[in-house]
Amino acid sequence: MKLVLPGLLRDELLPRIEAVAPQATIVWYDQHGEPEAPIADAEVLLRWFFTPEQLARLVRQMPALRWLHIPRAGVDGSLIPEIVERDIIVTNSAGVHAIPISEFVMLFALSHVKQAARLHQLQAAHQWREQDMQLRELAGTTMLIIGLGQIGQAIAARASAFGMRVWGSRRNPRPMPGVERVVGEGEWRSLLPEADFVVIAAPLTPLTRGMFGRAELALMKPDAYLINIARGEIVDEAALIAALRDRRIAGAGLDVFAQEPLPPDSPFWELPNVFVTPHISWSSPHIRARTLDIFARNLRAFLQNEPMINVVDKQAGY
């Protein structure tokens, strides 16, 4: 069996491949997705952060491709026609970012209720103003998580540990640890008027693109806070900017945007009630090892014709 793997990860991949598939032939590709040898007979491809165009060019050279692994949870940039229209298994790395992203959500929430930005301003000004500060608690507040996948579930666990009431939505609703109420993916809008924090943790699909707009923002409480760690395209950014400017919602913690890097002239930079971060909530020194461990586990299953984990529904988009 021939595997097409990123040369960047040669040292980390080789021990894993030797433990699972010692007889496999490996063809390495460079940072541009260019393989070092012919790959027409290769059956396995591990994508590693190159463009959809580069992926398509690589896949067209692989008529025997049977399985593609994606190094992140979101597959919106990988479900190209060359993949969707062929009988190719696609798996992702759902779960590897759950810990850092869920911690980042709590950073946004805590920064809001504890007025972290204001405290930093006072420190910079050498001002001691404890009488002016009206800090709040997370305990007793309600967090609505739109998308209870592995990241959403990790967020729920941490929010619950802070004493928050947690609600959430998922395609197939079922009871989940730490979540008081689970609704179907089309029912979360009815919960917006009661939520103190709304967290978008859904994948970007044709159904979720632009799903959070003017109507949804109008349903939120004036003191509610929106957090987006999913994809910027899920939110109508013009509607969000208007709502933030008019203080129709209290604020937002945004790690993702429709255009990245966020342009210097974006209004988000200047809005005082927005916490902007550069799509970094996923960052952790443990991500690469977790990703390659999932790949190795699935490689073993693939070779033994056993069920694989994190198999993507190519039609649903996640």
Q: Delimit the domains of the chain by residue range.
A: 2-95+285-304, 97-276
Task: Supply the pLDDT for residue 186.
Answer: 85
Structure tokens belonging to residue 217: 């923002």
110-113 contacts at long range (C-beta below 8 A, 24 or more positions apart):
110/138, 111/253, 111/275, 112/225, 112/250, 112/251, 112/253, 112/275, 113/137, 113/138, 113/141
pTM of the model: 0.93
| Locus of tokens 């009206």 | 134
pLDDT along the chain (318 residues), means of 10: 98 98 97 95 95 94 98 91 97 97 99 97 94 93 98 98 98 96 95 99 95 99 99 98 99 99 98 98 97 98 98 93
Task: Supply the pLDDT for residue 266.
Answer: 99
Give the length of the chain.
318
Structure tokens belonging to residue 115: 């007025």
Q: Give catalytic residue positions.
A: 231, 260, 279
Q: Tell me how far the alpha carbon of residue 230 is from its chain's centroid.
A: 4
Per CATH, which fold does 2-95+285-304 belong to?
Rossmann fold (3.40.50)
Task: Supply the pLDDT for residue 132.
Answer: 81
Strand-pair partners of 183: 169
Handedness of CA 276, 209, 243, 97 (dihedral sign): negative
Give the percent of the chain with pLDDT over 90: 93
3-state secondary structure the chain: CEEEEEHHHHHHHHHHHHHHCCCCEEEEECCCCCECCCCCCCCEEECCCCCHHHHHHHHHCCCCCCEEECCCCCCCCCCCHHHHCCCCEEECCCCCCHHHHHHHHHHHHHHHHCCHHHHHHHHHCCCCCHHHCCCCCCCCCEEEEECCCHHHHHHHHHHHHCCCEEEEEECCCCCECCECEEEECCCHHHHHHHCCEEEECCCCCCCCCCCECHHHHHHCCCCCEEEECCCHHHECHHHHHHHHHCCCCCEEEECCCCCCCCCCCCHHHCCCCEEECCCCCCCCCCHHHHHHHHHHHHHHHHHCCCCCCCECCCCCCC
Q: Which CATH architecture has domain 97-276?
A: 3-Layer(aba) Sandwich (3.40)
- Rounded to the nearest integer, the mean pLDDT of the chain is 97
Task: Supply the pLDDT for residue 37.
Answer: 98
Are both 2-95+285-304 and 97-276 of the same fold?
A: yes
Torsions phi, psi for 159 (to 5 deg): -65, -40
Task: Supply the pLDDT for residue 76.
Answer: 85
